[in-house]
Amino acid sequence: MGPSSSDEKILSYNDVVLRRSDLDILRGPYYLNDRIIEFYFSYLSSTYPSQDILLVPPSISFWITNCPDLSGLKDFIEPLQLNSKKLIVFTVNDNSDVTQDEGGTHWSLLAFDRDRNVFVHHDSMKGLNGWYAKKLYKTVEKFVGVHGYPSTACFVECLTPQQTNGYDCGVYVLAITKVICHWYVSGANDKGDQWLSAMDEQVDASTVTQLRDEILRLILHLMNKE
């Protein structure tokens, strides 16, 4: 029996392959999966190109958080060159079962700001993912230091625009990541202001709904160009 229509490949973008079922997720109202988040991270990396910024795909963030063999984690992380990046965004997911593909029920993000030497956790559901974010922080903190020295960066649970439903957490992650990328590339970082005020101004339930539609239209546009 051949693959169902929902498994049909509809778009290859950089290293990300999207399937027809991803369009149904975006039409919603549904919880975003890894593929959609990875696609938009890749798109943002192309839209806001900078050697200083790294948007870590969800699958890699998940493995760093839950890798059972910490002794082998160094070889896995080194190619990411975390110690050379000024700004790193990780996704946080409440799935801790490495045998469960695309599990979990909630997304949030953890951003490392080297200039301020801080890991900032943004959670659109009242810090629900706080424990998982701290677990990720404690692991990656060892790898973001320069010249072989561990980082002394602190962890901050930051006030974040809150979702008004049970399924838009992933879109909040993407909306906030977009704000962070634009903030950095536009030079606002050089003025000494962090992205928090821009996030408060630009991210709310309405803009998140618009972004979900925007990503769907973007994918359809890229499909038509192939």
What are the catalytic residues? 106, 123, 169
Residue 209, both tokens: 């709904």
Distance CA 167, CA 31 (A): 5
Distance CA 110, CA 2 (A): 40
- Cα angle 110, 113, 116 (rounded to 5 degrees) comes to 130
Task: Please name the amino acid found at residue 211.
Answer: L
With beta carbons less than 8 A apart as the criterion, state whether 112 and 152 touch. Answer: no
Q: SS3 breakdown of the chain: % helix, strand, coil, rounded to 5?
A: 50, 15, 35
Distance CA 210, CA 216 (A): 10
- Cα angle 7, 61, 226 (rounded to 5 degrees) comes to 40
Strand-strand pairing, 118-122 and 107-113: antiparallel
Distance CA 70, CA 177 (A): 28
